[in-house]
Structure 1
Amino acid sequence: MSNLPRVESPAFNSKGSNDLGVTKSHGAAPSEAKRKFNMNTPSFQPSVLTHTSKFSALLPKLKDIPTFVPAALEPPSSSSAEGGASLTGRKFNASTPSFTPSNAYDSFSGVTNTPEYTMDGFHAHESAASTGNEQILLSQMAQASTPGPAPMAHSASAFMFHGQVTTPYPLNYHLYSPAPPPRLAGSLNAHETNVNALFIANDLRETVTKRNEAALQTLALLSLPDHVGNYHSVVPIDTTFDTLSKVWGKPTAVYKVNSNVDGLMYALRRIDLTSADQVSSELAFHTAKKWRRLTNPNVVRLKDVFTSVAFGSPTPSLCLVYDYYPLSNTFQEQHVTRKLGVRLEPVSEPLLWTYLVQLVGALLTIHKDDLYAGSSLALSKIIVTSKNRVRLAAVCVDDILNFEDINERMKTKGKTKFLQELQRADISALGRLMAELTASTLPTALRGEFSEELVTRLKTSSTKTFSEEWLSVIRALCDPDPDFNLSDFYTQHLSLRALDVLNGLQDLSDYYEGQLLSEVENGRLFRLLAKLFSLIDRPESDADIGGNAYVLRLFRDFVFHTCEESGKPAVDLSRLLVNLNKLDAGVDENILLVSSDEDTCLIVSYKEVREILELSFRAVFRSG
């Protein structure tokens, strides 16, 4: 009997027509009428429509579609036909190993991100167990027919990939919930506050955390010396790929190093010298003593100068050691050439005024000490260390590289006259620097040296609007008059602008002071918690039922193990801070301490708990 559902035949009326309006044919054969509603009739099966399109012949057939087979699962000696047949049989085999992604870079160095490899922070140790399939996969990846990039040198590949340990997850800088946007933040009364006001601002904390991370970052297995002079832990921090400096015409590099003398971090600038450029006289380092004594908030302080062969070069390299500022960018990286993964900061006239005030102040200090800035007034030699804070980061280089030429000209023209020429060249270099930053608002094809044509382009094609005052200042700096005086220029053009910079620095100081006030008591509360938790969970205190340790445990539960009326655990930071501050101050206020099983209740004051804490801490740690 068929399992098809029963279909009721429509009723016919007396005139021979059914309810559907179809007239019954009385002349039909009896057998045909009998089979009309036969229940044994097979059910309706829709068929695939015939494709009449001209592209129907191009439609793929399921049996012709090849099955993807990982290279590690295919036997190396089997043919493609045999492999296809065997893989078809185990297409849905439960024993087929699952796909495990690996690091493409590590596969070329023989290291894979499988549990069989462990990282100790510096070296990768390969386990003895290694399957044949993994070796086949590695060999096939290395011999892939797909064209790839040109192979790098061994030192370059080791620098970029070898031995680097990648964390499985990025560092979480948001240790607290970020503040909601202003449109979603609820209004608070005068006596109310929120969690974000109790701690340091999230953006400031994230910035400081990233700088600390950059300062402590190391790279393992680099082909760099262990020690260079009195410094160790040499780590490259130069993000540019041009080893040849466009300013000095010599190979240069910048490293982060640690001092053996004071343990602080410094930035070491290495300049490779040829045999013709070697520093042959100790007098070349005499000017470095004057640079070490120079202090200015807009000049990176020079720490040390020496030559070294530790980098393996055939001739000694010149090494200059400066103060280190993590995550600082040059003018070139900040405004002109985009750094990888970082957006360019747009240039505006107020920002340029801020830069000019700081750089002119640095030049006034440098010229006052009978020095000159030289090549440090370049886009790639001035760094932005924080918000709109700039510093000259390559001073004293020209004094050493060009010592013989400078000494010869001083003898010919006189020391005072030639020094004035060098300082005048600083003013022109500052003007060209400001002109380059201003021209960065133009399309690349319209940029060039400062001229009246460039001024016209700035007025017509620039994405920003610049005032006539700013353009006249650039003219005065690029082509200074014979009687040009930098102090008079500062008084005439920058005195009012300097007040704006000063006001901004004072506002920033107030902001940092406010953030410091919110964190100043953290050390006191941390010491209190260290004492408390070093006593309540000691093994010898477990048998002290009803003693001092038991009171401290009850207080711990009273402060940290709070619950709502429904029994749901809750965390109230304001209540937690209030109770800890009262305990630290020893307030004579009674509180009720209840055990978790509600069998014990104690009425004590914060003062008594404080005395118990101090006595217990002294008894435990002084007796030992």
Structure 2
Amino acid sequence: MKPHSAGSDLNSHISSNSTPINTPCRNILIHGFCKYADKGCIFTHDLTKPSVATTMPVETTKNIPSQPKSAPVASPLPLSKKKFNLKTPSFTPGGTDLSGISKPLLPPKVIKSTSFVTSNLLASKSVSSFDFQSLPTFTPSASTSEATLDSSVASLAIESPALPPSPLNGHSIHMGNITNFPVQYQLYAPEAMSIPIKPNERLVHDYFMPSELRELLLRKNEVCFQNIPNSTFPPFVGAYQSLMPLDISIDKTRLDFGYTTWLYKALSNIDGNFYSLRRIEGYRLDDLSPIDVVMDNWKNVASPYITNIYDCFPSNQFNDDSLIFVYDFCPLSKTLQEYHFLAKSPVNEQILWNYVVQILLALSSIHKCGLAARIVDPKRILLLPGNKVKLNSLGIFDVMDFNTNSATIEELQQKDFQDLGFLLISLACGSSSAPKQPEKSLKFMSTVFSDEFIRFITCLIHTETTNISSKQLISQITPRVIDFFRKSQYSQDNYQLELCKALENSRCFRVLTKLGFINSRSHNGLDKNWSEGSIRYILSLFRDYVFHQVDENGNPVIDLSHVLECLKKADAGTDEKVLLVSRNEKNCFIIKYTQLKECIDLSMEDLSKI
């Protein structure tokens, strides 16, 4: 309540009603004293006397009859002039006796709910110390859809509610670590769009690499970094380490090149790249001169359809005499035998023509250098993603038969063409024994394949008498070669387009990293307000302009195209102007992207000087 006013208000009140009433003065109740007690305040200042106001509602105090004039006026208490009076009774609210409270203060639903107790705590009342060595090893399955939790882990699993969809259409930042289990590639793929979009609209993944290409590259990286912990393989074989077997089955009775062979993936200590090592077990080479000659011959062969040979050396790291050949490592590759004969993958004439063009181009490069492949066999031809083939294990026969081979190079080259014809027959018939009866196999193939394909295979298997060259064979299938290069050019253009996207993303990442170093930095050396002063304040406003915009309703604006456009302009330093407004709308700047780029560069220079 507002205290009584002094002067005329008080005099008029006393003159109109000078009879004291038995009502406590509110100045006493509020302030502990009344400075008008000696100046004619008509209210009682003795709180020890019972008053009518304490037993009657406030609104009825207006009708209380005035006391007779002979009634003595209560003398005021000798209160101090201080604002707070120590004699004021302490505040004691009604019903403060808490001793009789027996009901709990929590809601009934919370009291009735059972507390969460894990299954291993229910088994024993005492909780022992955590022993991580006693936990079972987690071994996930090859497929993420078939992966199951261990029973001990599943007992602790709590079902969590589904997260809302990401505003960036499923794209999330993923930091890849080398793990011993397959990466969940579905985390990289965008969510499928169920609503059709307009031609002028774009999705988030339109700005980035396609999901199929991204998954392919991730799978290649995963294969490259796979290793075997606690491996029994030699730690070093020549200049190579971290050996990883690439053979599907371990069969020592299988003989390639007349010996038991093994294939490994290894890391080079010289250049840090991955290579494949072909080991010829039990082969002893006393004279190393054939290695030098063969390596000098094959280093001049350059073709994208062969695995280049880099080195050859004997080794006793496997506790025996072995000969090691070093080739390019092709991740996610399979031999034609594994893909078509073991996996029973279907084949058609278009796929076979694709194989023919690539193998002929590889043979053309080899024969031009005066060499022969001698390995046109489904077990030694690799198939890469995208139906690309490579001739593998080149030069092995040249080293092993260096002193015993009596055939001329022309005969060996004609044998390459004949082996190519037998390879096509076996792939077309789906049987490795089909080349043993070529005429019968060609008759069967004539019911499925075109006459052009049959005539070409017939020409290949009879090259011993015709003595044809690779150039003549390529001229016979010129339309097929043109069609192959046309598709290759389309694929090259597509990869170049995706490379341009990666180039733009790297630009944005550099600018974004610089802004992350500069903005909201608590201190820089002795300056605690470094990020909010001078030109850094403009960069903080630019950050709000790029990432913290809101619409007219105050909702956040999540526009990826706006972010990419601003970051690219800041990286290029264009002459376009931008309006930057502070959050309290008291500061406003019109600045060019050129000046913003200068601010970023100067701020980074200041950071680098610390």
Question: Shared topology, TM-score over 0.5?
Answer: yes
1:222 offset after TM fit, Å? Answer: 0.7
Structure-2-length-normalised TM-score: 0.66
Residue-by-residue CA offset, 1:177-219 (whole Å, 9 max, x unaligned): 25648xx643414xx4332321122211211121122112222
Task: Tell me: CA distance 1:504–1:243, structure 2 relative to 1, closer, same or farther (3 Å).
Answer: farther
1:481 offset after TM fit, Å? Answer: 4.6
- For residues 287-306 of structure 1, the aligned pairs below 5 Å read 287-306=294-313
Aligned to 1:271: 280
Residue 188 in structure 1 maps to residue 199 in structure 2: yes
Question: Which one is further off, 221-230 or 563-572?
Answer: 563-572
Q: 1:234 aligns with which of 232, 243, 247?
A: 243
Whole-angstrom distance in 1 between the partners of 2:316 and 2:135: 33
Residue 581 in structure 1 maps to residue 568 in structure 2: yes
SS in 2 for 1:405: coil
Q: 1:557 aligns with which of 544, 548, 555?
A: 544
Whole-angstrom distance in 2 between the partners of 1:93 and 1:556: 49
Residue 208 in structure 1 maps to residue 217 in structure 2: yes
Q: Which amino acid aligns with 1:171?
A: Q
RMSD: 3.1
Identity %: 29
Aligned to 1:429: 419
Aligned to 2:376: 377
User: Structure 2 regions of 5+ residues with no counterpart?
Assistant: 1-118, 126-131, 140-151, 153-177
The answer as to whether partners of 1:251 and 1:272 remain within 8 angstroms in 2 is: yes
Residue-by-residue CA offset, 1:483-523 (whole Å, 9 max, x unaligned): 32124641452222111111111111111122122222222
Task: Tell me: CA distance 1:96–1:373, structure 2 relative to 1, closer, same or farther (3 Å).
Answer: same
Whole-angstrom distance in 2 between the partners of 1:559 and 1:577: 9
Aligned to 1:103: none
Q: Which amino acid aligns with 1:284?
A: P
SS in 1 for 2:257: coil
The answer as to whether partners of 1:447 and 1:454 remain within 8 angstroms in 2 is: yes
Aligned to 1:96: 123
Residue 478 in structure 1 maps to residue 461 in structure 2: yes
Residue 284 in structure 1 maps to residue 290 in structure 2: yes
Residue 615 in structure 1 maps to residue 602 in structure 2: yes
SS in 2 for 1:293: coil
Whole-angstrom distance in 1 between the partners of 2:353 and 2:189: 37
The answer as to whether partners of 1:232 and 1:258 remain within 8 angstroms in 2 is: yes
Q: Which amino acid aligns with 1:578?
A: E
Aligned to 1:309: 316
Whole-angstrom distance in 1 between the partners of 2:124 and 2:556: 43
Whole-angstrom distance in 1 between the partners of 2:261 and 2:281: 6
Residue 336 in structure 1 maps to residue 341 in structure 2: yes
- For residues 155-554 of structure 1, the aligned pairs below 5 Å read 166-167=180-181, 170-172=183-185, 174-175=187-188, 177-178=190-191, 180=193, 185-189=196-200, 192-273=201-282, 277-285=283-291, 286-313=293-320, 316-338=321-343, 345-374=345-374, 376-406=375-405, 409=406, 418-440=408-430, 449-459=436-446, 465-487=448-470, 489-540=472-523, 543-544=529-530, 545-554=532-541
Residue-by-residue CA offset, 1:4-59 (whole Å, 9 max, x unaligned): xxxxxxxxxxxxxxxxxxxxxxxxxxxxxxxxxxxxxxxxxxxxxxxxxxxxxxxx
Task: Tell me: CA distance 1:382–1:487, structure 2 relative to 1, closer, same or farther (3 Å).
Answer: closer
Residue-by-residue CA offset, 1:367-410 (whole Å, 9 max, x unaligned): 22221111x2111111122312111111011112223321xx26
Whole-angstrom distance in 2 between the partners of 1:483 and 1:300: 30
Aligned to 1:601: 587
Whole-angstrom distance in 1 between the partners of 2:504 and 2:252: 48
Q: Which amino acid aligns with 1:439?
A: C
Number of equivalences = 442
Aligned to 1:28: none
The answer as to whether partners of 1:244 and 1:250 remain within 8 angstroms in 2 is: no
Structure-1-length-normalised TM-score: 0.65
Question: Which one is further off, 290-299 or 563-572?
Answer: 563-572
- For residues 95-114 of structure 1, the aligned pairs below 5 Å read 95-96=122-123, 112-113=136-137
SS in 1 for 2:185: coil
SS in 1 for 2:463: coil
Q: Which amino acid aligns with 2:309?
A: L
Task: Tell me: CA distance 1:360–1:581, structure 2 relative to 1, closer, same or farther (3 Å).
Answer: closer
Q: Which amino acid aligns with 1:177?
A: P
Whole-angstrom distance in 2 between the partners of 1:178 and 1:352: 36
1:428 offset after TM fit, Å? Answer: 1.6
SS in 1 for 2:467: coil
SS in 1 for 2:466: coil
The answer as to whether partners of 1:432 and 1:450 remain within 8 angstroms in 2 is: no
Residue-by-residue CA offset, 1:39-97 (whole Å, 9 max, x unaligned): xxxxxxxxxxxxxxxxxxxxxxxxxxxxxxxxxxxxxxxxxxxxxxxxxxxxx998237
Task: Tell me: CA distance 1:110–1:494, structure 2 relative to 1, closer, same or farther (3 Å).
Answer: farther
User: Structure 1 regions of 5+ residues with no counterpart?
Assistant: 1-91, 99-106, 118-133, 135-163, 339-343, 411-417
1:454 offset after TM fit, Å? Answer: 2.0
Whole-angstrom distance in 1 between the partners of 2:558 and 2:574: 23
Whole-angstrom distance in 2 between the partners of 1:264 and 1:507: 29
The answer as to whether partners of 1:174 and 1:202 remain within 8 angstroms in 2 is: no
1:272 offset after TM fit, Å? Answer: 0.2
Whole-angstrom distance in 2 between the partners of 1:208 and 1:521: 19
Q: Which amino acid aligns with 2:409?
A: L
1:223 offset after TM fit, Å? Answer: 0.5
Whole-angstrom distance in 1 between the partners of 2:347 and 2:417: 21
Question: Which one is further off, 323-332 or 256-265?
Answer: 256-265
Whole-angstrom distance in 2 between the partners of 1:201 and 1:571: 22
Q: Which has the larger radius of gyration?
A: 2
Task: Tell me: CA distance 1:490–1:535, structure 2 relative to 1, closer, same or farther (3 Å).
Answer: same
Question: Which one is further off, 567-576 or 346-355?
Answer: 567-576
Task: Tell me: CA distance 1:225–1:557, structure 2 relative to 1, closer, same or farther (3 Å).
Answer: same
